[in-house]
Structure formats: C-alpha cells, structure tokens
Amino acid sequence: MMNNQQLLKKKIESQIKRIKKAEHDRPNLLSQTVYIGTLGLVMVLPVIGGVYLGHWLDGMLDGYSTRWTLSLLFTGLVVGIFNVYFLIKD
C-alpha cells in the first residue's frame, strides 16, 4: 500500500513540475508580436527588393518596360513565401 502512495506522489510531483515549466515557457504578448513582425519582414523584404531591383533594371533599358519589375516582383513573392514557410517550419 505504501508503495502505491509513493508512486502516486512521484507522479503528482512530476506533473506539477511539468505544469510549472509550461507556465514559465508560455509565450507572452511581446514575443508573439515580435514573431509576427519577423514573419511580415521576411515576406515583404524580398518583394520590395525585387521591385526596386526590377525598376532599376527597367530604367537601364531604352523605352518603357516593366518586364524586370514584374518578373522580380513575382520572384520576390515566391522567395518571401519560402522564407515564411521555413521560418514557421523550425
């Protein structure tokens, strides 16, 4: 009978430790906000970089062209999506 009580006591103590650790490791509002902001940056920065680079390359060509701008816009969008995917995956 005493052995069962000791086993129960150990289980309860381990569950209490687990609960306290979970409460301590729980993300707070600031960390969640930073995480969402990081996701936004890794999505938007390749798109903006692609548009600026494409616009610069189109400016180097004679006449009116948006070929590079649109191509690098979509390339930046794909890179941004992959960035978000790999950031969330880890």
Count: domains in the chain:
1
pLDDT at 90: 72
Greater pLDDT, 82 or 61: 82
Judge contact between 54 and 69, C-beta under 8 A.
yes
75 contact partners, CB below 8 Å, separation of at least 6: 46, 50
Domain that holds residue 50: 2-89
0.75 surpassed by pTM:
no
d(CA 59, CA 49): 15
Return the half-sphere exposure (C-beta side, CA atoms, 13 A cut-off) of residue 90. 7
Interval 1-42: pLDDT, tens: 568 888 888 898 999 999 888 887 777 888 889 889 999 999
pLDDT at 1: 56
Task: Determine the 3-state secondary structure of 63 from DSSP.
Answer: coil
Judge contact between 87 and 39, C-beta under 8 A.
yes
